[in-house]
Amino acid sequence: MIKIVIFIIGFIAAAGVNAAIPVSHKQIKGLDEQVQDIKKDVLDLSTELSQLEEKLLYPSNTEVAVFVALKGNKKFQLDSMQVSMDGKVVNQHIYTYKELEALRAGGVQRIYTGNIKTGDHNLVMHFIGRSESGDEYQRSGKYVVSKAVGPKFVEVLIGGKSSSDQNMRFKDW
């Protein structure tokens, strides 16, 4: 009986054995620190490059950016969005589940960045979405963007009490 009990201990030992990893934890930790350092280097580069890109591609005297935020019924499902500037479609976007969740959580999407002359421009936003019951519907909104010498930011707020009736509001920043 005692021998069999010891036998079982042997079985448990064999079953519970973890991987005998020759790579030491210290080695993994050291490598992890190096990875963190390189991440920092690349992030620094990314920040500086994005500044260069903005300066080069979107100078402030012509820059215009359109942002989208969801402020209404959380059950409304935004499927797609179209941005037109002065009668020309400048961007279209189809939303993934993750993107929609990010908008619902309070994130703001920069849907379009471009260059326009100073003066008034017609911005038309068009969305297709679905209500809680799954019915598809679409809405359009117009707004006159008055571009001055500085960069211009316009926020499009999609909101409304019912998921079947969401509308757009424009906010000038």
Q: Which of residues 11-30 bind another protein (CB under 8 A)?
A: 11-23, 25, 27-28
Give the residue among 83, 152, 142, 150 at the shortest CA–CA distance from 112. 83
Q: Do 153 and 173 contact (CB within 8 A), yes or no?
A: yes
Query: Least Å distance between CB 42 and another protein?
Result: 5
- Nearer to another protein by Cβ, of 20 and 133: the residue is 20
Q: Which of residues 53-92 bind another protein (CB under 8 A)?
A: 53, 55-56, 59, 61-62, 65, 67, 69
- Nearer to another protein by Cβ, of 87 and 105: the residue is 105
Q: Which of residues 119-158 bind another protein (CB under 8 A)?
A: 149, 153, 155
What are the tokens at 99?
């993107």
User: CA–CA separation, 164 vs 77, rounded Å?
Assistant: 10
Strands (E), 60-135: 63-70, 77-85, 88-94, 109-115, 119-130
Query: Least Å distance between CB 135 and another protein?
Result: 27
